[in-house]
Every structure is written in C-alpha cells, then in structure tokens.
Amino acid sequence: MSSYDARFRVWRGDAGGGDLADFSVEVNDGEVVLDIIHRIQATQASDLAVRWNCKAGKCGSCSAEINGRPRLMCMTRMSVFDREDVITVTPLRAFPVVRDLVTDVGFNYTKAREIPAFVPPSDLGPGEYRMQQEDVDRSQEFRKCIECFLCQDTCHVVRDHEENKTAFAGPRFLMRVAELDMHPLDAASSSGLDRKRTAQEDHGLGYCNITKCCTEVCPEGIHITDNALIPLKERAVDRKYDPVVWLGDRIRRR
C-alpha cells in the first residue's frame, strides 16, 4: 500500500464570510476526497463542518465543489488527481453557507413543495394500476435521482442570478414536472391542473436554455436535459400553439 501527502485547500467560514485554509494530509490507496476531509477533521481541524451519510453515492449529502466542479466527495477518487495537484474543496456556490462545507439547501425543498403531487385516477383502486413497460422505463431513469442538488448548483440560471430563484425550479424539479406529465395515469388534468402550463408559468421552464451543465454533473448519469427538459419544452410549445387550447384560453379569459 502506498501513501503520500496531498495538499488540500478547504473553505472555512460561515454566512459572514471565510477563506481557504491549507492542509497537508496523508492519502492512501483507494481513498476518496471524503476520506481526506474526514482525516483533516480527525487530525487537524476537529471543528470542520461537513455533511455526509452513506459514503456510497446514494444519500446525496456530501455534495461540494472540488476544484470548482460540483461533485460528490464520496465518489471522487483521489486517484483522478496527480499527486502534485492542490485540491480545493469549497461549499456549493448556489446555496447559502451554514458553516465550512455545509450549505443550506432549503431552496430545493421549497421548490419540491411547489409541485403538486401525482393525482391517482379516480376509477382505479390500489393494485389496479396498469402501465406499458415503455412508460415505466421512461420515468425509471428520473427516479434514480438521489437529490444531491449538484444539478441545481451548477445551473447558471440560479448559480449566477440569485434573483431568478423565486421564478425557477431548477433542473431537478423541472424533471419532476416532466416525469409527472409523462405519467399515463396522472389524473391532474381532471382536477384542472395543466402540468405543461405550470412548467412554463410557475416553474420557469423558459429560463432553461439547454446548456446541459446539469446533465454533465449528475452522478446518476440521468439525461436530465435530453430526456426530461427538452421533451417537456416540446410538449409545452405544442400545447401553446394547439388551436383548440388557444381558443379555450381566449374563451376562459373573457
């Protein structure tokens, strides 16, 4: 087993401000960035705040920015870096810092609550639901989401524009709207809820200009842009220019 000392720069501070702190720390074969952060905590900075839980890429807690890229610390192997590299670990930039590497991701829970849940069909009971396998497969991809919020952090719509946060749900939650809109048994429309319209008017679908940065950072490899956002945009546009829908909207506005 070989080991070496790596140079780490870790952001330390709180909502009032902070700075990068330098550490030289032992690295052993097979370790990931979260192991090194834990070693710093155990040997040099016992009050370093870091959020983690599963250490297996499944809880979505250990999200941070490593050399400026949003990543899961527990899934970033030290072997991807050169031994001479300085590795900089900072908190997610799009969310307010609580302390050190821990951010307040409450924005995401607020957005989750704004999306109306699946509406069960009124004429079917539990156990009577039947779906085509292709419909099951399509939404299965979206259900792999571990809610790490790396996609939310990297999307420039909120990363660079705090003021957009009220109007834009972000890729993770637009994907949720797309999943529900694709669901063949969702009976939202029977209660007057048009998910395509709400995607545009309430969740800011139009702010997404398909940069695909969200897809690039997703640790689950979900094709957020190609399989959720673009199809949702296409369906929303179809709805907008459907002459029957247009006429209905005009009559309703009178």
Number of chain positions touching ligand F3S (CB under 6 A): 12
DSSP classification of residue 57: S
Number of chain positions touching ligand FES (CB under 6 A): 12
Residue 24 φ then ψ, to 5°: -110, 125
Taking the complex as a whole, how short is the minimal distance between the CB of residue 73 and ligand FES, in angstroms? 6
Q: Which does 150 bind (CB under 5 to 8 A by kind): ligand F3S, ligand SF4, ligand FES, none?
A: ligand SF4
Q: Which stretch binds ligand SF4 (CB under 6 A): 24-32, 145-153, 180-188, 246-254?
A: 145-153
Please answer whether residues 100 and 172 qualify as being in contact, where contact means their C-beta atoms are separated by less than 8 angstroms. no
Please answer whether residues 119 and 153 qualify as being in contact, where contact means their C-beta atoms are separated by less than 8 angstroms. no
Q: Which C-beta is closer to ligand SF4: that of 31 or that of 220?
A: 220
57 binding ligand FES? (CB under 6 A): yes
Q: Which stretch binds ligand F3S (CB under 6 A): 12-20, 106-114, 188-196, 204-212?
A: 204-212
Taking the complex as a whole, how short is the minimal distance between the CB of residue 232 and ligand SF4, in angstroms? 14
Please answer whether residues 20 and 99 qualify as being in contact, where contact means their C-beta atoms are separated by less than 8 angstroms. no
220 binding ligand SF4? (CB under 6 A): yes
Please answer whether residues 195 and 179 qualify as being in contact, where contact means their C-beta atoms are separated by less than 8 angstroms. no
66 binding ligand FES? (CB under 6 A): no
Please list the alpha-helical segments (H only) found in the chain. Answer: 33-43, 106-113, 133-142, 150-154, 156-159, 171-182, 195-201, 213-217, 230-241, 243-253
54 binding ligand FES? (CB under 6 A): yes
Residue 63 φ then ψ, to 5°: -65, 135
Residues that bind ligand SF4 (CB under 6 A): 145-151, 172, 217-220, 222, 224
